[in-house]
Amino acid sequence: MDSRILNEVRELVKPHSPQYCYQCAKCTSACTATKVIPEYKPHLIVALTRLGSVKGLMESGIIWACTECWKCSEYCPQDVAPVEVVIALKNLSIAMGYKPPEDLKVMAKNVVELGYVSPPIEVLSKEFEMYGREALSLPELVKPYVSEGTPTNLKKLLGGVYE
Amino acid sequence: MSKFLLFLGCTIPTKQYSYEISVRNVLPKLGVELVDFPESGCCGFPLKGLNKKAWIYMSARLLSLASKKGLPILALCNGCDTSLRKIKDLLMHDKDLREEMAKLLSNEGVKLDINAKVYHTLEVLHDFVGVERIKSLVQRPLKGIKVASYPGCHMLRPSDIPRPEDPVEPRKYDSVIKALGAEVGYYPDKGGCCGATLLPYSAKHALLIVASKLKTIKEYGFSAVSTSCPYCMEMIDAKQDAARSEVGDEDISIPVFYLTQLVGIAMGLKPKELGLNLNVSPVEGVLDRLGVSLYE
């Protein structure tokens, strides 16, 4: 048993307590993702995390199937917060060089460069016309960062994840 | 008069324009003053899987900017609402984290201050404006329309921080809908998830979640759905066609409205003042029954 992963996860999920999981699987019975992707099982992810055996979870990318609905955390009698364990594993997998889903990289790049997950787009109306903010008389969307310090900080925190 | 910083987040000002339009047109008519917050931007919630500190930093930044302005934040998006409240709670209880964030923020000339209060659209409608006041302003009651409220995950969970709604037995949403003259009711898993976060991993499985939610709502006899979250809207309004073809069920079709759109319809506002021409789902059906033309 390798406790290094569990210790790193514990640090990331403070004040929750993944070390107290007793495998009741209430989280899995509540899980939104499990209902459509049966091989995704939060209680097993917590068990593997406690054993330090997370390579398979990171290689397969199954941790990215979590819908982050937080139901597992509500149902858990031990304050394990499996959703936060999964978020911690996502963070660790990236630090270890595994790739996140492509769309998340695009979102991160946009947040750094534009301040939003996407640039403002034109949408199709029921009259089959395209509308953007200006045509809808909405105020122009400005880049929210008042100082270059914000994107610089963000880049440092995110590392090269979106490259 | 209550005054709030209008915090739009990401999805609303770049894509879900009907929410912004309806909020800007409806809330001031209910005595709510909105102050633009152009230096806000992303709350960091979508970044948490990539780097949790990046999430914490972005929300700490927003709370600090708002605290400096001395106004409470009105968060329109469930994700933003959760994010700000969760990070506020984390920072309140973790001195080391506070110091780390204060240092990062000082690089951009911002002083860490997490005192700003955070409210969601539903709270502003229910707790500040109040059901009685809304009821008194209804000119076009939504009679005969049975609306399924769809609060969305992050209006309710996590529940170890203060939430806009009761996480176990959400009631505020339905009382606002009832005040508009519409019917409300029970359906299983009302606090369930729209599947939006699953999209980058598997669009197919996210659509299965949408299909199953909408099917349940129809089976329970509802004629419309209402949400107050742009991510839920994006899934249950805009992805009905895709969900229908994914499961091959022609029955998956139901009008979906933002809560502020329903309030605006009942108050007699024009559909374009509520951005209703931008909803993707078949909202015309409900408008016809109320004698309202989408193009008036």
CB contact under 8 A, B21 and A136: yes
Residues on chain A touching B41 (C-beta within 8 angstroms) = 111, 115-116, 143-145
Per-residue pLDDT of B10-65, as tens digits, reads 999 999 999 999 999 999 999 999 999 999 999 999 999 999 999 999 999 999 99
The whole-angstrom distance between B279's CA and the closest CA on chain A is 8
Which of these three, A95, A118, A149, is where a domain ends? A95
At residue B123, what is the residue type? Answer: E
For residue B1, the model assigns a pLDDT of: 63
**Per-residue confidence (pLDDT) for residue A146, from 0 to 100:** 87
pLDDT at A163: 79
- Which of A52, A78, A95 terminates a domain? The answer is A95
Judged by a CB distance cut-off of 8 A, whether residue B189 touches chain A is no
The answer to the question of residue A162 being in a domain is no
- Do residues B113 and B151 both lie within one domain? no
Pairing of strands A123-124, A130-131: antiparallel
Query: How many residues appear in chain A?
Result: 163
* Shared-domain flag, residues A83 and A24: yes
Residue B127 lies in a domain: no
For residues B271 and B292, the answer to whether their CB atoms sit within 8 Å is yes
Q: What is the CATH number of the domain that holds B69?
A: 1.20.1050.140
Question: Above 70 in pLDDT, residue A111?
Answer: yes
Tens-digit pLDDT profile for residues B158-186: 999 999 999 999 999 999 999 999 999 99
**Domain extent for B38:** 2-120
Rounded CA gap, A163 and B216, in Å?
A: 42
pLDDT band at B296 (very low <50, low <70, confident <90, very high): confident
- Where is the domain boundary, A60, A78, A95? A95
The structural domain count of chain A equals 2
Please tell me whether residues B68 and B17 are part of one structural domain: yes
* Share of residues in chain B with pLDDT > 70 (%): 100
Listing DSSP states for A23-56 in one string gives ---HHHHH-HHHHH-TT--HHHHHHHHHHT--HH
Order the strands of the B224-227 sheet from edge to edge.
Answer: B147-150, B224-227, B256-258
> For residue B263, what are the β-bridge partners?
none
Q: Which residues of B touch A102 (CB under 8 A)?
A: 200
pLDDT of residue B295: 86
Portion 74-103 of A in contact with B at CB < 8 A: 74, 81, 87-88, 90-91, 94, 100-103
CATH number at residue A25: 1.10.1060.10
> B193: burial class by Cβ within 10 Å (0-12, 13-18, 19+)?
buried
**Counted domains in chain B:** 2
Q: Considering B87, B120, B153, which residue would you say is the last residue of a domain?
A: B120
B11 touches chain A (CB under 8 A): yes
User: Cα separation of A103 and B145, whole Å?
Assistant: 38
Domain boundaries, position A75: 4-95
B28-41 tens-digit pLDDT: 999 999 999 999 99
Residues of A whose CB is below 8 A from B277: 125-127
Check if A123 contacts B (Cβ < 8 Å): yes
What ipTM was assigned to the predicted interfaces of this complex? 0.97
CATH number, domain with residue B204: 3.40.50.11810
CB contact A65 to B (< 8 Å): yes
**What is the nearest CA distance from B267 to chain A, expressed in angstroms?**
21
